[in-house]
Amino acid sequence: MKTRSDDLEHLLAVVEYGGFSAAADALNVQVARISRSVSKIEKVLGVTLLVRTTRRVMLTEEGKTFTNTVNAALQQIASAETETQIEGNVPQGKLRIDAASPFIFHQIAPHINAFNKIYPKVKVELNSNEGIVDLIEKRTDVAIRIGKLEDSTLHANNLGKSPLFIVAAPEYIAKNGLPKTPIDLKTHSLIGFSNIKALNKWPIKGLDTIAPSISASNGETIRQLALAGNGVACLSGFMVNNDIKNGRLIKLIDSYRIQDSDRELINAVFYKSSSVSERVNAFINFIKPKLSL
């Protein structure tokens, strides 16, 4: 007995959507059919791929290995299909892009209309994640990563550096005074990250990791809090350059700022053998000169 391609599709859908019912809804098939497909694959392989509980479905270690292998194989198949479909080397098909939500808001979304006009056959899908995603598991074609890269299995295209600035709104400064040294910040309301503590290490000489008075899970929320006069924040230039230029935010203690830290690095990462290499290259070559970091 052999595993059919539709059985594999059903298994991957269960993994992607987190359950049998959700997978059935997404594929518009009966739950029983999804269950039969998974049971059939497990019988053929002689291993348990999924652990089913009342609340969720989780992959076993064998399941993780098998689904990763299947995903890689499907990418190779998609690559072959793409190569036969390309007309005159014009990129086409879906392009899944992942980045932190502030980067999507400020640097990618404003240019999608122009990208679509140049590459009308490329269907862009934007996904925002505040942490690092597994490109294969999340079916992501290209991810924008901020900071030092750790994953050596990925290919990277450096997009530049985005300096970090300590900022606050004029209204906040008017009420609370202007901090002139890092020590002065201890008497101010500081806005930081709630989920990634390393981001609360500000690149300021003589300043340890801050203890936020207010915290949030993503940079755009922190920006909005700063704009509303809630306190002092540390944010990347790609988010606040326009705010500083237009006077909505003021740079503070800039002479103490440590420049060229790893957190300033911006890279586009992808798998070189990806079936969407034409689309990835088209996107990177398009977006890179348009970034205001």
Q: Which tens digit of pLDDT belongs to each residue from 45-89?
A: 888 888 877 667 888 888 888 888 887 776 666 555 555 444 556
Does residue 100 share a domain with residue 138? yes
Q: Which domain holds residue 139?
A: 86-162+264-290
180 contact partners, CB below 8 Å, separation of at least 6: 253
Asked whether the beta carbons of 190 and 232 are under 8 A apart, the reply is: yes
Does residue 152 share a domain with residue 113? yes
Parallel, antiparallel, or unpaired: how do β-strands 164-168 and 250-251 relate? antiparallel
Query: What is the CATH classification number for the domain harbouring 254?
Result: 3.40.190.10
Does residue 271 share a domain with residue 155? yes
Does residue 182 share a domain with residue 67? no
Looking at 82, 112, 142, the residue that finishes a domain is: 82
Does residue 217 share a domain with residue 156? no
Does residue 254 share a domain with residue 168? yes
Token representation of residue 58: 């989780």
Q: Which amino acid is at 241?
A: N
Does residue 168 share a domain with residue 198? yes
Strand-pair partners of 257: 204
Does residue 190 share a domain with residue 75? no
Q: Which sign, positive or negative, has the C-alpha torsion 105, 106, 110, 111?
A: negative
Q: Decide: helix, strand or coil at residue 175.
A: helix
Does residue 254 share a domain with residue 173? yes
Parallel, antiparallel, or unpaired: how do β-strands 265-270 and 155-161 relate? antiparallel
The predicted structure's pLDDT at residue 111: 93
Q: Which amino acid is at 109?
A: A
Q: What is the number of domains present in the chain? A: 3
Q: What residue spans of 110-254 are helical by DSSP H?
A: 112-118, 170-176, 219-227, 237-245
Looking at 52, 82, 112, the residue that finishes a domain is: 82
Angle at 92 between CA 141 and CA 146, to 5 degrees: 25
Q: Which sign, positive or negative, has the C-alpha torsion 177, 293, 248, 227?
A: negative
> Is residue 285 pLDDT above 60, yes or no?
yes
Give residue 133's pLDDT band: very low, low, confident or very high (50, 70, 90): very low
Give residue 231's pLDDT band: very low, low, confident or very high (50, 70, 90): very high
The predicted structure's pLDDT at residue 137: 47
12 contact partners, CB below 8 Å, separation of at least 6: 67, 70, 71, 74
Asked whether the beta carbons of 180 and 221 are under 8 A apart, the reply is: no
110 contact partners, CB below 8 Å, separation of at least 6: none
Does residue 93 share a domain with residue 41? no
Asked whether the beta carbons of 175 and 254 are under 8 A apart, the reply is: no
Does residue 211 share a domain with residue 144? no
Q: How far is C-alpha 155 from the chain's CA centre? A: 16
Asked whether the beta carbons of 160 and 233 are under 8 A apart, the reply is: no
The model's pLDDT over 80-131, given as tens digits with 9 standing for 90+, comes to 555 544 455 677 888 889 888 899 999 999 999 999 999 998 899 998 876 5
The predicted structure's pLDDT at residue 76: 66
